[in-house]
Amino acid sequence: MKRPFLVVVVLNALYLFAGKGETFDHHAPILKALLRKTHVSPPKEDSIFYNNIFNDFLYRCDTRKIYFLQSDIDTLKKYKQQFKDEVDGKNHFFFQRFAPLYQMRVMQCDTFVIKTATKPFNFTIKESYSSADSTYCTTRQALETRCQQYMKAKCLRKLLVTLEYDSTATADTLLKKEPLMRAKTFRELSRSFDYLIYDKTTIEFVCGEVLCETIAAQYDPHTNYFTAEDNSHFKELIAGEEKLFGFNIEENEKGIITLNQILPGSPAWKCGELNNGDVLIAAREEKGEWLSFDGENRQSAHELLNSINSDKIEMQVAKADGSRKNVILQREKIKPDDNFVRSWIIQGPSKIGYMQLPGFYTVSENIKGAHCADDVAKELVKLKAENIEGLILDIRNNGGGSMDEAQRLAGIFINEGVLDFVRYNEGKPIADKDPNQGVLFDKPMVVMINGASASASEMLAGTLQDYNRAIIMGSPSFGKATTQIVLPLDSNLNLRSDFRNKVNAQDYVKVTIGKLYRPSGSSNQLCGVQPDIELPDVIKALGYAEAAEKNCLPRDTVKRAVYFSPLTPLPVQELKTRSEARTKTKKEILALDALKTRILARKKETEKAIPLQWEEYILRWKSDRNSYYNAYKNPENSNPLPISNHSFDIEQMKVDQQKEIYNKKALKSIAKDSYIEESVLILSDLIQLQKK
C-alpha cells in the first residue's frame, strides 16, 4: 500500500498520543541501581553524568543525523531535568514528548526515502555525504537533501560491492544496475523504518532499550545492557540441535554490524579466520548475489542474513588490522567428540608444536560443554607424543573469554603461585592462585600476541611474562584488564547469592565487576602487554585499542600482598638481537611497517566526506584500496614452513572430510605466515641457548 506524502496532519496528530496514559515501562532505574551496586568503579552521578547520558541518547537515536532538526534538539534540551527524572524513574514526562517526536521524524524520513526512490540517481552531480557529520540540519529541505544523499551513498556502496567481486564490470554495466540497487536500498531502509512507524508499543520499547544501552555505556566500554531476546538468541545458538554456521551479529555503538558469539567448535570457529568483533561487510549464498551490510541496523542485518536460504554462505569481513577476508562456511552440527583447539607440527631448526587458540571458552558457552584449558591440555599430550622441543601458542586476535579458563591454562605451564590479582568495588585486591601444583608442559615457549589480543589473552600472556615462562612476541595487546559478569536485571540482586538460578529475568546486563592485575602488581589496562620481541602491527594505527574507547577505566597498580617466585630470566636481549638481524631486511615485515606509517600519516588528515559523483567515488575507492586493503598483505614468507599434522589428527581426518577441508586451508595459511616463521626461529634460538 502506498504511504501518504502529505504527512503534516498525521505528524501533528502524533502529538495527541503523548497523553498521561503512556506507561513507558523501561528498566533504566533498576539498571542504574544494579550498576551502582556491582560496578568496580561507578561514575559519580552528577550533572556531567546525566548530561553525557542525554547527549549520547540523542546520538544513538539518530546516529546519521537524518531524523531530527536542530530546532528539535534545542527544544529537547529544555527538558534536561525531566530527562534526569526519566532516568531515575520518577516520571515519564520526557519520553511522553520524545517518543511521538521521534516517531514523527522517522515517518518524515520515510517519506523522503519514498520520494527519492521514485527517480533514478544522478551520479554526475558534484555532491558528497558524510556519516560523521556532527551537525543537525536547520531546515526541512536540508534534512530531505541529507536523507537523499544518505540513500544515494548506500546505493553507490551496493554498486561497489559488485565491482569488488566482478573484475569484468565496467562503469556502464554497473550503472545499468542502478534501478535494482536503488530498489534494494529503498526496501532495506523502509524495513528499518516500518517497525518504528506503525507500532506505538515498539517506539516505546526502542526508546527504553536505547536509554538502558546508553546508561550502561557510561560506566565503561564493556558494561552492556541486553534484553531477554538477545540472551535467548545465544541460548538458541548453543542448543546444538540444528546445523549451524556458528556466529551471531550485533550493532556496535558506531552503528556497524560486527560478528559476536562465535561458537566454539562451529564452522565459524573451525575455519580459523573469524573473530568476535570482525566487521561484516557483505554476504551471499553459494553463487548468489552479494548483500551489503553497510549502514544496516541490527534488525535489518538479521533479516538480511535470514534471507540467505542456503547451507553454504560466503562472507566478507574486515579484520581489526584493516585486512579483508572472504570466508566460506558450510552449515553443520557440532560433533560431541570434537576438540575445539587445533595444533600442528613445524619442523624448523627444532621440532616445534604450534597451537591456535581463538578464544577462552568455558562449559556454558558451547554445545559440547567443553573447557578451553582441558582441550589445550589434550592437544599438549598429542604434541608431546611427537617429541616436540618447544611450543608456540598463538593467541593473536583472541579477544578473550572466560578468565577462569585463562587462569587454569596459565597453571598448565606454571608449577605454583599467584596467577593474578582482582580488585572488586569492595577494596582490597584478591590473589588468584594456581589451584594445581605441577606443570603439564615445561619446555621452551613463545606466545604470539597482537593488538586484537585482549582481556583473558592479556592475562595469560602477562602472567607467563612475569614468571619468565615464555617469550612474548608480536605487538602490544589491546589493553583491557577488567573482568565482566552477566547478571539478571534485579536491583536487589546479591553477587554472593546464586543469581544464576534467576532464569526468568526480562533483561540482563554485562557489568565490569573487577580490575585485573598481573602477579607483579602492574596492570595491562590501556597499555596492554608489551612484547619481549616486537614486530610491526597496524591494528593500533587503525584506532583499535582500549585507550581509544569511550569511558575506558584508568590504569593503576596494586601493591603485591603475595610473593611470587619467577623462573630464571630468559635471554630476551640476545633473542631480540637475533630477531632484529633477520627481520630488518625481510621485505614482508618491512612492507607492513611501511603500511603502519602510511595509516598514521593519513589519520592526521581531515576525514573526507564520501563523494557521490561516480568517477570521484571510484577514484576514492581505488585510492583507499591501494593505501589499505591491497597494500596490506598478511606477511607471507617466500619459503613456506614445513608444517604437518600430528598422528592423532591424521587418523581422524580419514573419517572426517570436513575437518580435512579446514585443515588444508589452515596448513596453507600457517605455512605462509611470516610472523609464525619468525616465532619458530625465535623459539629455536631459545632452545639452542638453553642447551648450552
Q: Say which residues have a Cβ less than 8 Å from residue 337's Cβ, sequence separation at least 6.
A: none
Do 682 and 575 contact (CB within 8 A), yes or no?
A: yes
Query: Which of 237, 236, 214, 235 has its CA nearest to residue 225?
Result: 214
Residues of the chain with CATH 3.90.226.10: 342-691
Query: In sequence order, what are the beta bridge partners of 374?
Result: none
| 224 neighbors 214 (Cβ within 8 angstroms) | no
Tens digits of residue pLDDT in 59-69: 999 988 999 99
Please provide residue 69's backbone torsions phi and psi, each rounded to the nearest 5 degrees: -90, 160
Numbered ranges of CATH 2.30.42.10 in the chain: 241-330
Spatial distance between the Cα atoms of 398 and 409, rounded to a whole number of angstroms: 14
Percentage of the chain beyond pLDDT 70 is 86
Handedness of CA 448, 449, 453, 454 (dihedral sign): positive
Q: What pLDDT is recorded for position 172?
A: 77
Which amino acid is residue 157, in one-letter code? R
∠ CA 578-583-585, rounded to 5°: 120
pLDDT exceeds 70 at position 20: no
Task: Give the count of beta carbons closer than 10 Å to the beta carbon of residue 159.
Answer: 23
* φ/ψ of residue 280, rounded to 5: -85, 110
**Mean pLDDT, range 108-123, rounded to an integer:** 93
Res 624: pLDDT: 67
pLDDT of residue 518: 95
What pLDDT digit, counting tens, does each position of 650-687 carry? 888 888 887 888 889 889 889 989 899 999 999 999 99
Q: What distance in Å separates the CA atoms of residue 525 and residue 459, rounded to the nearest whole number?
A: 10
Q: Residue 8's pLDDT is what?
A: 36
Q: Which fold has domain 342-691?
A: 2-enoyl-CoA Hydratase; Chain A, domain 1 (3.90.226)
Instruction: Enumerate residues 6+ apart whose C-beta is below 8 A from 54.
Output: 80, 83
Cell of 253: 555503538
Predicted pLDDT of residue 263: 83
Q: Which of 259, 201, 297, 260 is nearest to 510 (CA)?
A: 260
Beta strands in 156-293 (DSSP E): 224-227, 248-251, 257-260, 279-285, 291-292
Supply 675's cell numbers: 610472523
Backbone angles phi, psi at 238, to 5 degrees: -95, 5
How many CA atoms, within 13 angstroms, populate the side-chain half-sphere of residue 59? 18
The Cβ-side half-sphere exposure at 105, using a 13 Å CA radius, reads: 24
**Position 321 pLDDT exceeds 80:** no
Residue-wise pLDDT for 293-316, tens only, equals 876 777 778 878 888 888 899 998
Lowest mean pLDDT among 126-130, 156-160, 352-356, 521-525: 156-160
Alpha helices, H only, 403-561: 403-413, 456-466
Q: What is the pLDDT averaged over residues 370-378?
A: 89
In this predicted structure, which of 336-350, 419-433, 473-487, 585-599 has the lowest mean pLDDT? 585-599
Chain CA centroid to CA 97, Å: 35
Answer whether 599's CB lies under 8 Å from 544's CB.
no
Beta bridge partners of 368: none
Fold of 241-330: Pdz3 Domain (2.30.42)
Helix axes of 200-217 and 47-61: crossing angle, nearest 10 degrees: 130
Q: What is the CA radius of gyration of the chain?
A: 27
Contact 110, 117 (CB under 8 A): no
